[in-house]
Structure 1
């Protein structure tokens, strides 16, 4: 779908920006083909090096392609807006405005601005996330857990773009916050176990008194799901696949439940099942649910979850685009939501998928959540 949309936008830009340029016909044809190839670069690269989920090419090349692809998308939006304004000006016969909107320099200038914004966006996408600290009040939270600190990491996407050196910095930032518990809500990696061995290794250094608990996101399924589950556990993580664990403190209990991702259906693997995840849990203990996607928050609240921690959306990547991402995720995209008595927190994520690696106005984050009784 991304390639189809990108290709349509590329053809539109060729028509509205490339073809009107005062260049020779062969040069315009070459430029047009390059723009279309950029729109299809995910599929082209996947034919030769890695997959669409995990391009196995040098970091610099991924960054350049990501900048170009983001430029294409933003340029298309700019040109569409300019063309819409031009159409409106024609309809209302705003003669003074028409020459400005038809100016030969205007659309190339919009493309240049898009390039600058995209370069900034990729730089932000590759930045090491900064901590974000919040407090969440939970009904019935035992006094023993007042002030309990849960660190959420999500959407790390260790890859050829966000390499082991970057992951190591994320781990250092996380450990410096001294959490009681670390939870990872999916999409830890992109690629196979062998391809990501060095990039994934620093996560073994995450530490907290009550350990590291992880769930799957959609990206774990795209390459060697079973092998990754084994690798996660080999790093000392407790992986919750439609199950739960209980944290004890001074005789009080806190339930941490985790579910799988809906993409499991493609691979004949267990779908998310909160009922199964909570089977046998202490009915008096507050439940913190780890669910990669926020879309089922209302249903999860109805089953008694006190706090749901999710990711997946990357905060929408770009201001404005977050409104589209929100529609695909049950109306949730970034930050805190109160959902029928349950608190939902959707993290912007620490990293992002190399295929769309831009952040503009939506910073990455490491989230430290302090629990309070309500």
Structure 2
């Protein structure tokens, strides 16, 4: 083994040692609250048994057959339980660590200012009870997200004004949906409720902004008849998202991967959807028009950058009113916002709002994903141009949503009246 290889080996070994040490420290801290509160003779055995059962379930789910190779079924629920328990433990140890700091300072104070010897006070049952109570909140919340939150569809409506909207399209309404991830769905009744909710908006056009599946076209076999029920006067338009290319699946051959993508495209045509692949579709009313522009996936941070906005808009002029469908919102800052052809409105998805956060539309929104994406949920405006980032209709990996609910966006276009 060369010197460089030895160094890499040592670094990897140290990372594992540090990771295991941190996990053990978390377990020890979390157990302290459990032991102090319940004072059971077999408390350690019960705690260890619960932890081992969870790890065993996680390992079994990831080794069980999963034909679509994604975080679905048992895998998804094991991830959800793991996240819930992890959130419980981390919230608990934060409280306990704070108490430990206080206990040490209390012992030092007594040692310095009283005759007492240095002795750290014992843990207080009240603090352990508080720690477990606070830790239970994210745990129960994540369980609720798996039980009900993932199908808690919300219709969010916006009215956007534009100086250059053709007069004939004043009041034109579009419905945007995104990130179906059909391979994750497990309740046909709930999903069809969401589909009916989309149709009830009676928009002039329905625009789907990518990630129809998690990995494979086969995921659509059980759902294509359901989503074929989506109807709008001017049609249903769609684009591809990063998951639709099958990049996260272990294909036997490159040919099978290509065939899978071709099948996914055919399924959208079969459902009556108009898939836009770096192209524009014009909608006309009287003698005026707007263009629905769709690009293939383009994203920063290691995601596929295939979309070609120049190609998609080559038949259009800067004065044409355009609605761009681009799956990844990072495309807006990097390309479309300052494109010479002028893109008045961009519709994206991709972020899911991380499926977790605090979201009071029009008032306050927060999610950890905002540290990764400047535009991550809702409407943003800059230089007279808009982007809407849809929070997603489906879910991925964590089989639920908490605070960031599945979204159906309704946007009414309005022509701005001159002052």
Superposition TM-score tier, normalisation by shorter sequence: 0.7 to 0.9
Paired residues of 1:164 and 1:200 also in contact (CA < 8 A): no
Paired residues of 1:288 and 1:308 also in contact (CA < 8 A): yes
Q: Which digits, 9 at most, give the CA deviation of each residue in 1:51-105, with x for residues without a partner?
A: 55353x4xxx567535413313422441353245336535765989984489444
Aligned residue for 1:356, secondary structure, equals coil
Quick one: which of 376, 380, 383 aligns to 1:337?
380
Aligned partners of 2:301 and 2:77: how far apart in 1? 34
Paired residues of 1:185 and 1:309 also in contact (CA < 8 A): yes
Paired residues of 1:243 and 1:276 also in contact (CA < 8 A): yes
Q: TM-score, normalised by structure 1?
A: 0.83
Aligned partners of 1:155 and 1:174: how far apart in 2? 14
Q: TM-score, normalised by structure 2?
A: 0.75
Q: How many Å apart are 1:178 and its aligned residue?
A: 0.6
Q: How many Å apart are 1:233 and its aligned residue?
A: 1.5
Paired residues of 2:357 and 2:368 also in contact (CA < 8 A): no
Q: How many Å apart are 1:130 and its aligned residue?
A: 2.8
Alignment of 1:75 onto 2:88: yes
Q: Which digits, 9 at most, give the CA deviation of each residue in 1:143-163, with x for residues without a partner?
A: 011000000011222235344
Paired residues of 2:31 and 2:44 also in contact (CA < 8 A): no
Aligned residue for 2:151, secondary structure, equals coil
Paired residues of 1:158 and 1:167 also in contact (CA < 8 A): no
Quick one: which of 50, 55, 65 aligns to 1:36?
55
Aligned partners of 1:136 and 1:373: how far apart in 2? 8
Q: 1:76 to 1:227 in 2, by over 3 A?
A: farther
Q: How many Å apart are 1:282 and its aligned residue?
A: 3.7
Structure 1: 5+ residue stretches without partners: none
1:243 matched to which residue of 2? 279
Aligned residue for 1:49, secondary structure, equals coil
Q: Which entry has the higher C-alpha Rg, 1 or 2?
A: 2
Quick one: which of 260, 263, 270 aligns to 1:234?
270
Aligned residue for 2:329, secondary structure, equals coil
Paired residues of 1:155 and 1:186 also in contact (CA < 8 A): yes
Alignment of 1:38-187 (within 5 A): 40=58, 44-45=61-62, 47-51=64-68, 53-55=70-72, 57=73, 61=74, 64-65=77-78, 67-86=80-99, 89=102, 93=106, 99-100=123-124, 103-187=127-211
Aligned partners of 1:318 and 1:98: how far apart in 2? 37
Q: How many Å apart are 1:339 and its aligned residue?
A: 2.4
2:399 matched to which residue of 1? 357
Q: How many Å apart are 1:107 and its aligned residue?
A: 4.3
1:225 matched to which residue of 2? 261
2:323 matched to which residue of 1? 288
Higher alpha-carbon deviation: 165-174 or 269-278: 269-278
Aligned residue for 1:368, secondary structure, equals strand
Quick one: which of 260, 278, 295 aligns to 2:313?
278
Aligned partners of 2:209 and 2:389: how far apart in 1? 10
Aligned residue for 1:257, secondary structure, equals strand
How large is the RMSD of aligned CA atoms in angstroms? Answer: 3.4
- The alignment covers a number of residue pairs equal to 361
Q: How many Å apart are 1:309 and its aligned residue?
A: 0.8
Aligned partners of 2:125 and 2:215: how far apart in 1? 46
